[in-house]
């Protein structure tokens, strides 16, 4: 995969992966996607954010995730 819009600069944003060396981290873009159900509203609030930025942020986040098993608590439903 080619992430030409994701930049890592130790002198910027504490070295967190950012979008095009802006003060907008990949993590923040993912948060914004969860908060703004309407992409047009997201674009109005963050006009510097382009569709390709969003696509690469999602791909980068997915690539960074581990395929590991996370134990969840078992819950039992009781019949009424």
- What DSSP state is assigned to residue 19? E
Dist CA 57 CA 75 (whole Å): 34
The whole-number pLDDT of residue 53 equals: 96
The whole-number pLDDT of residue 18 equals: 95
Domains present along the chain, CATH in parentheses = 6-63 (1.10.10.10)
Residue 79 scores a pLDDT above 70: no
Read off the pLDDT of residues 14-29 as tens digits, 9 standing for 90 and up.
999 999 989 999 999 9
Read off the pLDDT of residues 32-74 as tens digits, 9 standing for 90 and up.
999 998 999 999 999 999 999 999 999 999 988 877 776 777 7
The whole-number pLDDT of residue 16 equals: 94
Dist CA 19 CA 22 (whole Å): 6
The whole-number pLDDT of residue 80 equals: 61
Dist CA 61 CA 16 (whole Å): 12
């Amino acid at each position: 995969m080619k992430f030409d819009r994701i930049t890592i600069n130790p002198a910027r944003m504490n070295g967190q992966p950012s979008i095009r060396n802006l003060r907008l981290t990949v993590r923040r873009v993912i948060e914004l996607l969860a908060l703004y159900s309407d992409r047009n509203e997201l674009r109005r609030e963050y006009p510097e954010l382009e569709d390709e930025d969003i696509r690469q942020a999602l791909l980068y986040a997915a690539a960074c995730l581990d395929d590991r098993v996370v134990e969840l608590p078992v819950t039992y439903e009781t019949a009424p």
